Structures are given as structure tokens and as C-alpha cells.
Amino acid sequence: MKQKIPETANIIPSDFVIIGGTGHLSVRKILPALFWRFLDKQIDKNSQIILCDRNIKSPSEFFDNLKQHCSEAIKKDKNNKIIWEQFLSIIKIIELDVVSGEGHLELLEILKANFDEKRPIIFYLAIASSLFGNSCKFIRDSGLNVPQSRLVIEKPIGKNKETAIEINNEISSIFKESQIYRIDHYLGKETVQNLMALRFANTFFENQWNNNNIDHVQITVSETIGVKERIAYYNEYGAIRDMLQNHLLQLICLIAMEPPSFYEADQMRDEKLRVLKALKPIAENEIQTGQYRSFSDELEEISNTETYVALKVMINNWRWAGVPFYIRTGKKLSTKASEIIITFKKKPHDIFSKFTQDTQDNPNRLIIRVQPEEGLKLKLTSKAPGPGGMRFFPSELNLSFGDTFSDRLPDAYERLLMDVVRGNQTLFMRSDEVLAAWDYIDPIVGIAKKQEPQLYRTGTMGPEDKILSLDGHKWIDPKDELK
Ligand code: BG6
């Protein structure tokens, strides 16, 4: 029987001020997430969402576009059309320039109407990180950095360690660390959090979780989409800074970290930081970059930006020494999937060696499906039924969250936004984590610059592997694991 997702606790009425509020991120991720939470009655009708932008061309066009991005939620139930209208009534759009301060009076006016020391004001900076400093100064100069204010910022924070330090300094000269929420939305994904439950709420895996038992780890974050309207941003950042510096490194941290004493923000971050500091600097033959063929045409100029990157990551500590973590991510690949595959070591001796089927060819694997078809799979070898002797077949224990739970799984942004209101920083990055990630990534960017990215055809899994084959391994295609 399907289980129901446990009910969510309501949050107190709050003000969400989204700077860059009519932009790409807001329309695609932040506002649909707020609408789902509103539908679930988790967000109170007395809350306000204030969208701030420098130029608001056509509000009606904006709302049409937003409606499309919320269509799944609107269509879910016939009453939802009414709730959609209620949701629109808590949204206000204002023109605001954080550099000149123009528009601040209107913002103050709106916030003043409900000002209360207990009512959180969430400033979400959905803009380029180069404007974070100006935005924080604007908030301070407008008298809006009050104890109940929180600041949410998106990755990538800076383009390298130097710029990340500058941004962190600008922000932390105005906001306290306890007010700052650095989002990496991968940390809000259900299965990523389930990785914590799998490791630390069970005894089963934790004593297997080391270099005595694990042969290697593969992480694939593959996307079928290209970069479309974000091409200018992407051409400056590339896959290494856009995906590797944050999402993939965070996944490595969660797989590799030691158990913290409590599931609590700073303890979690301390352990993740230890992993980042233990990463071995990579060698030139441990990185491979690629670019999908039409990228330069879309950009209308020749570019060396990587749209694909693969890496062999090694962790210098007792638990993980000798275990390669092969990671890859890319755009316009054949499958949209994010998946972690833990391959366990071969058994020391095969008592079935005289039987025809070699069970060594079927290693035990734990597959953690982050998306789509979220769930866990454990690959085993079993005996085929029947009196025909010992014959083996690959079998699996499969926990599919879609099959287990009756409702949709909430999107990462839904959970993270509610955590900001509740003041829970566990799933957000601390400044030292961001800097440690850049410490690892800056030299990688340097190596990648010296290599020409290999062109690959759209709809493939990127360029032919040059890393795993050196160790006698192969990439496992995420398609093989989909139903
Ligand atoms: C974002 C990147 O952080 O993550 C995008 O900037 C990428 O380039 C996106 O497409 C992928 O997120 P998801 O949740 O679709 O895997």
C-alpha cells in the first residue's frame, strides 16, 4: 500500500523579497516552489512576495510566463485555479535598482505595512554574484537589515577563490553568518537527504562504507537541455564552475563525510569541510572536458568553454584512500539523470567458481537515484529458482520513492525556502565550505584551460572516456538503471 507523505508544519507569515524577481531563476524555480507551498497551505495568506527588478517590461507577459511554469500545480486539482488567484494577490512587483537605490521607498512602504519583529523578511538575491555586495549595502542603507532579516544567495559564489572572498567579505560586513543562507539546491533534493538517512539512520551500510569494501564510486549528473537563454552566463562559467564547484562536490561530501555527532548545521558543515580539505589535487590525466557541437554556433563566436566535464577525485584520508570517485556532468547528453553508484569490492574467493556463470562479473552495487525516478537500488546476485543446480542471475532490491509514496515529491527549492523561514541552516553552505571548494576547483579550471574541450554530438553521453579506462573501469550509463 502506498504511504502518504507526512504533513508539513505551517510557517509564520513572512515577506519574501526577491531581487531579480522577474528573472529566469525566480520564474522557473523560486515562485513555482512558493506556489506549491502555498497550495499546501504551508505559506500563510498574510505573507507577501515582493518581486524587485530594474526593468519590468510587461507584468502581464511575466505573469503569463509564470503561469506556464506553475501549470502542473494549477492543473493538479480543480480548486487550484482559485488558489492561483489568491497566490497572485500576495505578489507585488516593483522597480528597484540596488545600485542607485531607486525604488527603495516603495519597498519600504510595502514592508512597513506588516512590520513585526517576529515576521521574517527573506531577501533572496536571484541575480549575478557580482551584485551581491551592492544588494547587501542597499538592504543596510534602507534600514532593512533587522534581526529577523535573512539573506539567501545562489551559487556560484564568485568565479574563483579570490572573488568568492571579496563577496563573502562584503556580505559578512553587513549580515551575520546566522542570517546568510547559501543555496545549493542539490542539498534540498529528497534522495540527497535520504543519503544521510541511509548512512546514519541505519547500521547496515555504515560499516561497509570505506576502502575495505568499496571499489569505486561513480556520480553522473547528465542533462538533456542545453544552455539556451543563459548562454552568456554559461560561457563565462562553464560546467566546472556551474555544476562541479557546487552540486557535484556537495554530493561527494555527503557520501564521504564522517558521521557528525548530531544532524545539526555546523556539525554537518564541519564534516563536509573536512572532506573538501582532504581532496587530492588532480593530475592532468584525471580530467576530461567536452563541448557539445552546436555550442559555438549558439553563442555566435568560437568558445573553449566546457559543457561537459569528467574527473577522477581521490580523497586523502584513512576511510577513502585508494577509492576513486569518478564524477561527470554535461549538457545536451542522451539522458536526464542524476545518480550515484557505489560499486563494492569483489568477494575474496568465489566458492561457485566451478559453476558456469561467473558471479564476479556481477558486483554488488548500491544505486542512489537522485532524479528522475528517485529511489535506491541494491544490486545482488541470486540463485535462479528451480532444481537445475546453482545457476545465478542478477537481482535487485528496489526502493522507489514514487512507488512508495502516493503524492508528488516536493522540489528542492520548496524545502529549502521553508528552511530559511524556519531558520534552519543545515542544508546550506557555510562560507568556509565555499572557499574550500574553490581551493580545489581553481587549479582544475587552470588545467582545463590548457586542454581543448573535445567536441561531442548532442544526444550522446559526451566524449569517449579517457579517465576510467586507465583504471580498467567503464562509465555505467544511467539509462541502464531507468525502468
Ligand atoms: C543549476 C545550474 O544550478 O542546476 C544549471 O546552474 C543546471 O546549469 C541545474 O541546469 C540543474 O539542476 P537540476 O535540479 O535540474 O538537476
Catalytic residue list contains 247: yes
In this prediction, residues 411-435 reach a mean pLDDT of: 95
| Distance separating alpha carbons of residues 229 and 156, to the nearest angstrom | 18
Nearest residue by C-alpha to atom 4 in ligand 1: 243
- Neighbouring CB atoms inside 10 A of 143's CB total 10
Higher-confidence position of 129 and 9: 129
Q: What distances in angstroms separate CA 449 from CA 128, 285, 381, 444, one per listed residue?
A: 23, 14, 44, 9
For ligand 1, whether the C-beta of 223 sits within 6 Å is: yes
Given a cut of 90, whether residue 17 has pLDDT beyond it is yes
Given a cut of 70, whether residue 237 has pLDDT beyond it is yes
Using the 8-state DSSP alphabet, how is residue 238 labeled? Answer: H
Q: Which atom of ligand 1 is nearest to the CA of 242?
A: 6
> 32-41, 69-78, 405-414 — which is least confidently predicted?
405-414
Q: Which atom of ligand 1 is nearest to the CA of 371?
A: 16
For ligand 1, whether the C-beta of 184 sits within 6 Å is: no
> What's the one-letter identity of residue 226?
G
Given a cut of 90, whether residue 74 has pLDDT beyond it is yes
CA 82 to ligand 1 centroid distance, Å: 31
> 44-48, 114-118, 417-421 — which is least confidently predicted?
114-118
Nearest residue by C-alpha to atom 9 in ligand 1: 243
CA 408 to ligand 1 centroid distance, Å: 20
> 161-165, 297-301, 434-438 — which is least confidently predicted?
297-301
In this prediction, residues 409-416 reach a mean pLDDT of: 92
Q: Which atom of ligand 1 is nearest to the CA of 370?
A: 16
β-sheet with 454-456: strand ranges across:
392-400, 375-383, 365-371, 337-344, 214-222, 325-330, 308-313, 287-292, 454-456
In this prediction, residues 236-244 reach a mean pLDDT of: 97
Given a cut of 70, whether residue 1 has pLDDT beyond it is no
In this prediction, residues 355-367 reach a mean pLDDT of: 74
In this prediction, residues 135-153 reach a mean pLDDT of: 95
Of 104, 247, 349, 473, catalytic: 247
CA 328 to ligand 1 centroid distance, Å: 14
CA 122 to ligand 1 centroid distance, Å: 23
**426: which 3 cell numbers?**
543545515
Residue 23 bridge partners (DSSP): none
In this prediction, residues 335-359 reach a mean pLDDT of: 84
In this prediction, residues 154-159 reach a mean pLDDT of: 92
**115: which 3 cell numbers?**
512590520
pLDDT band at 360 (very low <50, low <70, confident <90, very high): low
For ligand 1, whether the C-beta of 242 sits within 6 Å is: yes
**470: which 3 cell numbers?**
586507465
For ligand 1, whether the C-beta of 306 sits within 6 Å is: no
| Distance separating alpha carbons of residues 289 and 297, to the nearest angstrom | 18
CA 185 to ligand 1 centroid distance, Å: 8
Nearest residue by C-alpha to atom 6 in ligand 1: 242
| Distance separating alpha carbons of residues 252 and 275, to the nearest angstrom | 8
- Neighbouring CB atoms inside 10 A of 342's CB total 23
For ligand 1, whether the C-beta of 411 sits within 6 Å is: no
CA 243 to ligand 1 centroid distance, Å: 7
| Distance separating alpha carbons of residues 24 and 22, to the nearest angstrom | 7
The whole-number pLDDT of residue 391 equals 81
DSSP character string of 139-202: HHHTT---TTEEEEEESP-SSSHHHHHHHHHHHHTTS-GGGEEEE-GGGGSHHHHHHHHHHHS-
pLDDT band at 99 (very low <50, low <70, confident <90, very high): very high
Q: What distances in angstroms separate CA 254 from CA 133, 260, 275, 340, one per listed residue?
A: 30, 11, 9, 11
**471: which 3 cell numbers?**
583504471
User: Cβ(4)–Cβ(39) under 8 Å?
Assistant: no
What is the average pLDDT score of the chain?
Answer: 92
Given a cut of 70, whether residue 270 has pLDDT beyond it is yes
Sign of CA dihedral 64, 66, 69, 72: negative
The whole-number pLDDT of residue 465 equals 97
Nearest residue by C-alpha to atom 15 in ligand 1: 223
Closest CA to 16 of 318, 177, 42: 42
